[in-house]
Chains A and B, each alone.
Chain A
């Protein structure tokens, strides 16, 4: 069960993963529009205006850049790397981030974050408890994003050599900075 959770690309059918991944993209765009956030790079969320084109295009562009970059690297490592496996890897790796962005909109968490912005020095115990809960959720989910990306890519291209892993890390860093492009 844990193996399936940490590396779904190795265990689930590509159509199932594609369905789940595309659903997460639609959720990210729809809820991004409703709650005012966008995915502007791989594993990066930022506030956005309530504008379909801004949320939609930025989110799709961040997915597109990540898929293109990892697919090119995948082809360099293994000529038989398939586009759908890389696409699924990127889509599934972002699912925890989408979940995280929705969790931040839960009323008590959202109120706690607002309280920090309003008055960072005078926080009440309830706000501090909510912030601790956020940090307890954010850290494992962020780690899960990277684990899903690494395991998915490793399975997709049969990555084994240390220099492949180095290139993978370099591309992962590159696609995390695409919000500046």
Chain B
């Protein structure tokens, strides 16, 4: 049952990923503004990407409650 719950969480992360890496959310960051000199879009993609991987690792590696 535990692994079934984990699978559901992973599917949710998949859907979340589809959302954050696509139009229209993407368009919010596609402008010319920048963070510490790095374009906002670039920062957004990599931060979101890293967070997504961290969440996937969390879902999989967290020991069963």
Q: Do A and B bind each other?
A: no
